[in-house]
């Protein structure tokens, strides 16, 4: 820990306040944090929380303990007020307080990068915005809202609908990308498509390595991305790609097979040979609208 490293904790029962929609915001405004009484990453049992100071750096030991003392006193007062079936609005600290947009999603049980980075302030700022194509913040985060994730598997939780999404919603995309890839907005991505720079890979033991695949994803400028593209755009992408593939020569020469014209037997054979994937069934892909109009304008070049 930086600073004092001091943590003052109090086990406190907040049966009613913990159910209040502003509970997380109240704790944040008081510079307090919560966890279960069993330690880090444990959940509350019976409405009992371990409340402690969230600050470590920039405050003295006495100041940090005082924050906990004063904050816990206020939390107890709020709990007692709710027990009398009264409102606590006038007790909520005004400092740093921003009313939550009624459309703000409940992400309290979510484990994805979007949920970790999205705040009511960011949502209020970005929710009214649209890209020139009409893509919105709510469309971008829907897959992360619908899929809370797994406690031990951190998913991304959002998608871009078009190229402009990364600029219009940069206040959310930038921290999510940095958290997922450890890549800052000011960093420069390096490209190297020369296979001769690889070391090894052709000496893998076939008794253990059954198959291998190198996959990449590319988008075409001027078309919306899969979560938001129209049927016409998807057909347009297919037309551009197939025309380019016609120019392939040598060991890259092949044939494009539209899924819509394949028999079930042909599809299954390509799936068994690890060349073709089945229709998307992942909740992550479905919630981000990636499987619309399947199998129209989908295919495989082989």
Q: Kindly give the confidence (pLDDT) of every residue in the chain, 302 residues in length, as a single tens digit, with 9 standing for 90 and above.
A: 456 678 899 999 999 999 999 999 899 889 899 998 887 778 888 999 999 998 887 778 888 888 899 899 999 999 999 999 999 988 887 655 455 677 889 888 899 999 999 988 899 899 999 999 999 999 999 999 999 987 778 899 999 999 999 999 999 999 999 999 999 999 998 889 888 898 888 888 989 988 777 778 889 999 999 999 999 999 999 999 999 999 999 999 998 989 888 888 887 888 787 777 677 888 989 999 999 999 899 998 88
- Convert the pLDDT of each residue in 234-267 to its tens digit: 999 999 999 999 999 999 999 898 988 888 888 7
Direct distance between the N- and C-terminal alpha carbons of the chain, in angstroms, rounded to an integer: 55
* Mean pLDDT for the chain overall: 89
36 by DSSP, 3-state: which? coil
CA 138 to chain centre: 12
218 by DSSP, 3-state: which? coil
- Convert the pLDDT of each residue in 98-140 to its tens digit: 556 778 898 888 999 999 999 888 998 999 999 999 999 999 9
Q: Among 103, 118, 98, 86, which Cα is nearest to 20's? A: 86
97 by DSSP, 3-state: which? coil
């Amino acid at each position: 820990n930086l600073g004092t490293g001091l943590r003052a904790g109090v086990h406190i029962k907040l049966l009613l306040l913990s159910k209040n929609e502003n509970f997380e915001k109240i704790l944040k405004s008081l510079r307090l944090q919560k966890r279960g009484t069993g330690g880090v990453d444990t959940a509350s049992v019976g409405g009992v929380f371990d409340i402690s100071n969230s600050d470590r750096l920039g405050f003295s030991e006495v100041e940090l303990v005082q924050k906990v003392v004063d904050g816990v006193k206020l939390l107890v007062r709020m709990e007692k007020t709710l027990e009398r079936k009264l409102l606590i609005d006038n007790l909520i600290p005004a400092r740093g307080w921003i009313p939550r947009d009624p459309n703000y999603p409940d992400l309290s049980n979510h484990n994805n990068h979007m949920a970790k980075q999205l705040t009511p302030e960011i949502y209020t700022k970005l929710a009214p915005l649209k890209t020139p194509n009409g893509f919105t913040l709510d469309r971008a985060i829907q897959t992360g809202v619908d899929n809370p994730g797994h406690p031990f598997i951190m998913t991304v939780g959002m998608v871009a609908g078009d190229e402009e999404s990364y600029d219009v919603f940069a206040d959310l995309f930038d921290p999510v990308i940095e958290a997922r890839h450890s890549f800052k907005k000011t960093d420069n991505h390096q490209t190297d498509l020369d296979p001769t720079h690889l070391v090894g890979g052709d000496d893998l033991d076939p008794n253990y390595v059954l198959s291998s695949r190198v996959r990449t994803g590319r988008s075409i400028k001027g078309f919306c991305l899969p979560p938001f593209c129209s049927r016409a755009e998807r057909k347009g992408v297919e037309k551009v790609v197939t025309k380019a593939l016609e120019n392939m020569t040598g060991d890259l020469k092949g044939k494009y097979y539209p899924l819509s014209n394949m028999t079930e037997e042909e599809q299954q054979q390509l799936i068994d040979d690890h060349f073709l994937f089945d229709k998307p069934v992942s909740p992550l892909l479905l919630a981000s609208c990636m499987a619309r109009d399947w199998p129209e304008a989908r295919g495989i070049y082989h």
